[in-house]
Structure 1
């Protein structure tokens, strides 16, 4: 991805901490939207000053279309969109509030739609693009107490496949990865560390993501790639 302009959402999160350094190592020019200064500090702690200074941080609320449009319109071009933003939640269906259900869809699916919609406009204009989204194992293997999470992530998979079909005669691709449990500090805190050695490492996911985001993946379209680790 040398010289490519990459919009990397969620680049400061648990998965992003593993993905961002790999994207930078491939020579990309990276724009990362963020919500708070604490998010930026996470990256500053793990990146060299030279790599950190190559990132353009933009304060953005990805749930608001006007903010997303402004973010992307300010970019000279969007060669690659890597969309990592999302959230995990659990609860029995008969006890789950409608407000929480809507919030899950807002975070997991609606942000994906907005960044894909506006990035696609740039990509179609330039004639090149790579879109990589993050679904979940739960999107294709739904489980109890994960109805909202699985349904919203299934929407991400469907959206990605639809975009791939819309762009099949162009040099734009769209693909999705399907992680199982990701080995992040938040997941270790919530679920304990007993089985963490079986979870998928962010750095491992980063390698799959960066391949799909590269020119080498020009013939991979509409894929939903399982990355389950040993779980």
Structure 2
């Protein structure tokens, strides 16, 4: 990743901050985009001093997504890889559920990725090896009870990944997605305290898979949905 400019959305969250940290450690220039005005202190400490932090960005707005990517271009002069980590989760059954949960999941999980990709695309097309890596979900392949809103939105991410990959074939930009199972985060541990955490996907392992797909070496791979299941 030496010399590449990598943009990470959802960069203030449990996975996003790790992707930024690992990309920086591998020699990339990094930009961390988040919805909060600034990352929490403990998160900011994980970012390299040269990381560009772009806070207060609502990626459900295409205009704000464009403003964020323009800031990256102005700082680094280029953009080589976009990693769409921004997202959220809700567990809610359809019976008695709130239709707004579906709207929220599609907005936060799918619309953010579409807007970020559209905003970054002019700059990615200028790169010698443009990359977009989305975060889908294994749970979207077969949804269980209560997983409808989340799984449907992540299935949308999968189809978006495949469609954009086809659209960009032969133009120097690849589009792929990782499909993790349960990620080992503090929030998931709190929600499932009796689970076997050793079987979950470590954020550093998921970041490694993401950054491979974001690297020049992955140029022959596009439209792939890569399962990252850990021990599950």
TM-score range with shorter-chain normalisation?
over 0.9
Indicate the SS of the match to 1:100: helix
Match of 1:56 in 2: 52
1:8-48 C-alpha deviation (Å, 9 max, x unpaired)? 11222111233222111111111111233562423234x3x
Match of 1:170 in 2: 171
Q: CA RMSD in A?
A: 1.5
Summarize the alignment of residues 44-193 of structure 1 with structure 2, pairs less than 5 Å apart.
44-45=44-45, 47=46, 52-59=48-55, 60-76=57-73, 77-126=78-127, 128-193=129-194
Aligned partners of 2:38 and 2:189: how far apart in 1?
20
1:79-116 C-alpha deviation (Å, 9 max, x unpaired)? 10011111111111122211111011110000011001
The alignment covers a number of residue pairs equal to 227
Indicate the SS of the match to 1:93: coil
Aligned partners of 2:17 and 2:68: how far apart in 1?
21
After TM superposition, the structure 1 stretch with the greater mean CA deviation from structure 2, 107-116 or 163-172, is: 163-172
Displacement of 1:74 after TM fit? 2.6
Aligned partners of 1:206 and 1:2: how far apart in 2?
16
Aligned partners of 1:67 and 1:37: how far apart in 2?
13
Displacement of 1:193 after TM fit? 4.6
Aligned partners of 1:38 and 1:127: how far apart in 2?
32
Aligned partners of 2:194 and 2:33: how far apart in 1?
30
Structure 2 residue 2 is the aligned partner of structure 1 residue 2: yes
Aligned partners of 1:162 and 1:151: how far apart in 2?
16
**CA 1:142–1:31 in 2, change beyond 3 Å: closer, same or farther?**
same
Structure 2 residue 25 is the aligned partner of structure 1 residue 25: yes
Indicate the SS of the match to 1:176: strand
1:145-199 C-alpha deviation (Å, 9 max, x unpaired)? 1011000000001101111111111221000000000000011111115321111
**CA 1:4–1:136 in 2, change beyond 3 Å: closer, same or farther?**
same
Contact residue 7 and residue 80 of structure 1 kept, 8 A: yes
Q: Where does structure 2 lack aligned partners over 5 or more consecutive residues?
A: none
Aligned partners of 1:110 and 1:36: how far apart in 2?
18
